[in-house]
């Protein structure tokens, strides 16, 4: 499900729950496959938390935040406002071979910038 809500970086900074559960190295293409091996009981477990990704389906590429639960269900929560356009474009170029249904990973410089901005 897609949410058309926008979320500012300042608002996101105040949400410790999300910040503590960010999956910095999780990519959109991993949403369709298990991100963890078998557990001791033999059942599969998926990574759960929040991830940033770049969406290019709209008029302008933008940064979005998605939630993924342990059962593998993912939902886009919001568009993140206040991200420099050049960092988004750079991430798309850096990850051009990793496009997945018009979604891209965030890339090294955008990741570094986000970590700095979010504290």
Give per-residue pLDDT as tens, 56-106. Answer: 998 899 999 999 887 778 899 999 999 999 999 999 999 999 999 999 999
With b meaning 16 or more CB within 10 Å and e meaning fewer, what string describes 23-61?
beebbbebbeeebeeeeeeeeeebbbbbbbbbbeeeeeb
Confidence of residue 36 (pLDDT cuts 50, 70, 90): very low
Q: What is the pLDDT of residue 34?
A: 46
Q: What is the pLDDT of residue 83?
A: 96
Angle (CA) 107-25-108 rounded to 5° is 20
103, 53 in Cβ contact below 8 A? Answer: yes
pTM for the predicted model, two decimal places = 0.83
Tokens of 100: 């997945």
Q: What is the mean pLDDT of residues 6-18?
A: 93
């Amino acid at each position: 499900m897609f949410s058309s809500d926008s979320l500012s970086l300042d608002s996101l900074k105040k949400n410790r729950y999300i910040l503590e559960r960010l999956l910095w190295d999780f990519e959109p293409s991993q949403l369709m496959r298990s991100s963890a091996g078998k557990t001791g009981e033999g059942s599969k477990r998926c990574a759960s938390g929040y991830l940033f990704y770049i969406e290019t389906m709209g008029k302008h590429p933008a940064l979005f935040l998605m939630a993924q639960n342990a059962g593998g269900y993912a939902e886009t929560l919001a568009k993140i406002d206040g991200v420099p356009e050049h960092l988004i474009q750079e991430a798309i170029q850096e990850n051009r071979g990793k496009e997945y249904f018009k979604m891209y990973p965030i890339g090294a410089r955008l990741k570094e910038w986000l970590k700095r901005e979010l504290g």
